[in-house]
Amino acid sequence: LRSDISPLLKDPAAFRTLIDLLEDHLRASFPKIDFIAGGCLDSRGFLIGPSLAQRLGIGFVLIRKKGKLPGPTESVSYALEYGKAELEIQSDAVEPGQKVVIVDDLLATGGTMRAACELMKRLRAEVLECLVIIELKLLKGSEKLKSIPFYSLLQYD
């Protein structure tokens, strides 16, 4: 598994167990969540977020690469190891004060997750937590999230 969740996606029992673990963590940690947010943070993160939101009985909000969403959007630019990128969210995706958990499959350098948090901040939503399946600790990505709570199911050096 190391840093690829593809084997989990092929195995329905393993995927169900993954969603169970994430659901249990969120239910134990937060009495009220309005939305799970994620999407093309990484395309695999998009496979986890809607399943988790459906389990919790809440909505899922898309965060995409620039130019993929219709209507008015907010966007934020961020640095990658090899250049720059932009993420965006629809301007009406969340209301001020709504509570959001941002989900992705992997945290490496943290730039993409930090950009997603910045988008939520611009819409004045409250980010309860950034949640990933795998954290590559050697890259220290969680340090970029500063005071935002962070949870990873698996950690690798």
Specify which residues 38 forms β-bridges with: 62
Query: Three-state DSSP class for 150?
Result: strand
Bridge partner list, 84: 79
Q: Which two tokens stand for residue 119?
A: 């988008």
Distance from C-alpha of 21 to C-alpha of 7, rounded to nearest angstrom: 17
Catalytic residue among 23, 64, 81, 118: 81
The single residue of 44, 55, 118, 126 carrying the catalytic annotation is 44
Q: Catalytic: 2?
A: no
Q: Would you call 81 a catalytic residue per the annotation?
A: yes
Give every CB contact of residue 143 below 8 A, 6+ residues apart in sequence: 110
Query: What are the residue numbers of the active site?
Result: 44, 81
